[in-house]
Amino acid sequence: MSYQSLNPATGKLLKKFDELTDKELETKIATAETCFATWRKKTYAERAVIVAKAAAILRTKADEFAHTMTLEMGKRISEARGEVEFSANILAYYAKNAERFLAPVKLHPSLGEGHMESSPIGVVFCVEPWNFPYYQLARVAGPHLMAGNVVLVKHAGIVPQCAIAFEKLWIEAGAPAGLYTNLLISHDQSDRVVDDPRIKGVALTGSVAAGRSIAARAGKNLKPSSMELGGSDAFIVLEDADLEHTIKWAVWGRMYNTGQTCCAAKRFIVVDKLADKFLDKFQGALAALKAGDPLDEKTTLGPLSSEQALLDLLKQVDGAVSHGAKLIMGGKRVDRPGSYMEPTILTDIKPENPAFREEFFGPVALFFRVKDEDQAIALANDSDFGLGGSVFTKDIARGSKVASRVETGMMFINNISWSDAELPFGGIKDSGYGRELGDMGIQEFVNKKLVRYVSAEAPL
């Protein structure tokens, strides 16, 4: 694969980067393994000095990091700054809490004494996507470095400058050589990294296809893995929802990051009593968004991450319509330079339509009208994905019951606010397995060792 920065707002090439040679890759893996031998012996307080310093640098240089992200993948500048801040919060969170999360847990066996203790497993290989160029990196680096592991990261080919900037961040924070290593490598080289016996764990955030490939390879090598894959999250609107509040979240949930978010609201499932009003207001709010330079604070519609992403999404919408879906609005590219797409709503999507099961990674909303709450839940669960979802109702107790019945890794009541370092993030079904963030995120790649003492003679 090639590593190149193309500004999706203009289509102009910014910079190209060469892939590592096999010899260079070997040196980096060896350096990481050497680093682990000493890093694992550091106290939590010693590790926290570097991780907290990295968080502080992110905050100090937030504008610089955000600017690079906006140029490279088109994220609107205000959202880019928010991502840098969230990334800093994640690093600071684990610097503060890792020791508590991994403290020995006392057990109470019927005889003697026992406890569980946690220890790092070694070099962890992380494969990360372009849609959140720093956040995805922070949520593997923060917990796994504080646990005593070291990380090798293969970032997406379209955000090499972000990948390099994040590696430089750790060097500036005082990290020893090999603690955090960016790898500009090919898919074949990536496969060989997974196979390498020095790699002890594998984490991936990406597509279902990538997850199946990497998880299978990790499994063949008997290595633990975590997979955060795609989603087609349901946005359930019950008849008693506060419509104004719901519409604001509907627009944010579908259009944040130009819709390029795994846990974005993608399937809008609205009870019939409120469906017409919801659709009218939703359409009006989406129509008000205006394409512009993502570096301009006033821009409300940014580009997709690449020209290929735009072409793929346009083709997907055309396919949905050719199979019977109705195009309510949008469906075309915006008439301006760059990879911009009109906000789009599709409805009348039948189960036999491929669109019914696909993930639309961009500004495309699928609208479904249902009779009642039970039908809404059944439709929400009729998906190959199970990452997140939300339900909107004035009755919080009712919303909680609905949330419990929807088969996903995460559910939100009257919001889609997943951006908290304390909240475990992950899904089920084709959305993957394992959890990142929260106290669960740091447990993925540690050895949970039982230690027991019993004052007794061995049985004969």
Domains of the chain with CATH codes: 3-229+431-451 (3.40.605.10), 233-413 (3.40.309.10)
Place of tokens 């499994």: 219
What amino acid positions are annotated as catalytic residues?
228, 262
Integer CA distances (angstroms), 289 to 66, 243, 292, 307, 340, in order: 22, 19, 10, 20, 12
Report the largest interatomic distance among the alpha carbons of the chain, rounded to a whole angstrom: 83
The pLDDT, as a whole number, for residue 410 is 97
Contact yes or no for 394/374 (Cβ under 8 A): no
409 closest CA partner among 270, 234, 236, 256: 234
Strand order in the sheet with 412-413: 326-329, 344-347, 364-370, 265-271, 233-237, 389-392, 412-413
259 closest CA partner among 235, 239, 236, 240: 235
- What is the rounded distance in angstroms from the CA atom of residue 325 to the CA atom of residue 350? 7
Q: Which residues contact 297 (CB under 8 A, 6 or more apart)?
A: 77, 78
Contact yes or no for 304/310 (Cβ under 8 A): yes
The pLDDT, as a whole number, for residue 419 is 81
The pLDDT, as a whole number, for residue 460 is 60
The pLDDT, as a whole number, for residue 457 is 76
Exposure of 4 by Cβ count < 10 A (0-12 exposed, 13-18 middle, 19+ buried)?
middle
Pairing relationship of beta strands 344-347 and 364-370 according to DSSP bridges: parallel
User: What's the pTM?
Assistant: 0.97
The pLDDT, as a whole number, for residue 1 is 56
- What is the rounded distance in angstroms from the CA atom of residue 251 to the CA atom of residue 49? 40
Residue type, 259: G
The pLDDT, as a whole number, for residue 52 is 98
Walking along the chain (460 residues) 10 residues at a time, the average pLDDT comes out as 91 96 98 98 98 98 98 98 98 98 97 96 98 98 98 98 98 98 98 98 97 98 97 98 98 98 97 98 98 98 98 98 98 97 98 98 98 98 98 98 98 93 97 97 98 81
Residue 436 forms beta bridges with which residues? 425
The pLDDT, as a whole number, for residue 400 is 98
Place of tokens 């995120």: 441
